Structure 1
Amino acid sequence: MNNNRTSKQQLGEWGEKLVASKCSCPRCKRARTLKRLPQNFKCADLICDFCGYLAQVKSSKVVTVTLLPKFVLGAAWSPQKQRMDNGIYFPLFLVLRSTTESAIYYLPTDLQSPALFIPRNPLSSTAKKSGWQGFRYVLSAAPEGAFVRIT
């Protein structure tokens, strides 16, 4: 991994690579067809190079991989909100990493709702990216049992 990247960026990259190497495409069921999209591609991290399936990956450090965190940080709110307003949701792979193990969970689009996405406050005027606004995934807003553990 690139040493110029933050630890959170490195964790995200690791999670994307783990999903791509361990998971089959949920749509076409082919193995090893999930590929990483370019950095900063809006709202998606992986594409199936066979059927075009798009998915988001979020990674988080946790104490135990058997309990989902209350929330994980998303990316930019504006593109996410625009897609939601048009009924477009991307499936979510949630990668949890503890000091001793990791786990991959999956949340399909048909179990997502606007309640899962909460905007954060915009960055202050003194911030490097002044005015930028992200969001949080509120994992408890998903129906009980909606996240399926894959690994």
Structure 2
Amino acid sequence: MNLHFNQSLATNYKSEPQRIRVLSENWVANHSYCPNCSAEPLTEFANNQPVADFYCSNCNEQYELKSKKAKLSNIINDGAYDTMIERINSDNNPSFFFLTYSQALSVNNFLIIPKQFFKPDMIIKRKPLSATAKRAGWVGCNIDLRKVPESGKVFLVKNQQVIPRDNVTEQFQKTLFLRTQSIVSRGWTLDVLQCIDKLEANFSLNQVYVFADLLKLKYPNNNHIKDKIRQQLQLLRDKGFIEFISRGHYRKLS
């Protein structure tokens, strides 16, 4: 995988954002592949497609690309808040590619967050544009990547190192079961995964119970938080994220 942008494509563009858009989209189209089925190349949608930037002609997965210079940050700027919330709650929302690039215009990091990891609470509403702005009253949003469990960050390139394709597709496909869950059930699974991310490789049920008060704030109508935690741990065990060691003790699986 060549990590360098083809800079000759952008010599006629004076706008830096437009230049980067052309270079990064060209790089994905020519050097990437579908993380779900490993097919290549990805196909670009027509310009101004409202839903996504790329799709796989083999498995029909759709992807939107976000590019940024330098380091991958926890907060990513996105478009209209209402549109993003509507997409998250729909069946045809795309997964997101996040690409960071260097001063020399080569790829530092390239990862995908599969669509099943997006929840409304990770979309941050920005203040409306002022009355004097060209789009007065328009409300944008940011994506908070801190609310994504580590298993939902699938790197194709990490710190300029290309990740083996088999590893990428295995990690991507491991979480596809989340798509069959309801929004509420999926939220529970993702929240418990995030709790486990904060613990050591070997952990106890009591350590997960420490997060019960926090989960109660998110699910105030649920009066059986600890029962729900145990249910989710059993699900994650069955799906190969953790393993049962002994009564009340677990180990994370890579």
Summarize the Cα distance change of 1:126–1:81 in structure 2 as closer, same or farther, 3 Å threshold: same
Q: Does the CA contact (< 8 Å) of 1:44 and 1:90 recur in 2?
A: yes
Q: Give the unaligned 5+ runs of structure 1.
A: none
- Corresponding position: 1:17 with 2:26: yes
Q: Does the CA contact (< 8 Å) of 2:124 and 2:142 recur in 1?
A: yes
Match of 1:133 among 139, 163, 180: 139
Output the aligned Cα RMSD.
2.2
Q: Name segments (4+ residues, structure 1) moved above 3 Å.
A: 85-89
Match of 1:39 among 39, 47, 51: 47
Deviation at 1:22, TM superposition (A): 1.7
**AA aligned opposite 2:19:** Q
CA distance in 2, matches of 1:9, 1:121: 25
Summarize the Cα distance change of 1:107–1:51 in structure 2 as closer, same or farther, 3 Å threshold: same
Classify the secondary structure of the residue corresponding to 1:43. coil
Summarize the Cα distance change of 1:50–1:72 in structure 2 as closer, same or farther, 3 Å threshold: same
- Corresponding position: 1:96 with 2:132: no
CA distance in 2, matches of 1:10, 1:75: 19
Deviation at 1:74, TM superposition (A): 0.9
Summarize the Cα distance change of 1:120–1:38 in structure 2 as closer, same or farther, 3 Å threshold: farther
Q: Does the CA contact (< 8 Å) of 1:43 and 1:79 recur in 2?
A: no
Q: How does 1:2-151 map to 2 (within 5 A)?
A: 2-4=12-14, 6-32=15-41, 34-62=42-70, 64=71, 68-86=72-90, 89-100=93-104, 101-102=106-107, 103-151=109-157
Classify the secondary structure of the residue corresponding to 2:26. helix
Summarize the Cα distance change of 1:43–1:73 in structure 2 as closer, same or farther, 3 Å threshold: farther
Deviation at 1:148, TM superposition (A): 2.1
Percent of aligned pairs with the same residue? 27
**AA aligned opposite 2:37:** C
Q: Does the CA contact (< 8 Å) of 2:61 and 2:94 recur in 1?
A: no
Classify the secondary structure of the residue corresponding to 1:72. strand
Summarize the Cα distance change of 1:87–1:51 in structure 2 as closer, same or farther, 3 Å threshold: closer
CA distance in 2, matches of 1:36, 1:75: 20
Q: Which has the higher strand share?
A: 1
Deviation at 1:18, TM superposition (A): 1.7
**AA aligned opposite 1:59:** S
Bigger Cα Rg:
2
CA distance in 2, matches of 1:145, 1:126: 43
State the TM-score, normalizing by the size of structure 2. 0.51
**AA aligned opposite 1:14:** L
Q: Does the CA contact (< 8 Å) of 1:19 and 1:104 recur in 2?
A: no
Deviation at 1:131, TM superposition (A): 2.3
Classify the secondary structure of the residue corresponding to 1:18. helix
CA distance in 2, matches of 1:119, 1:13: 28
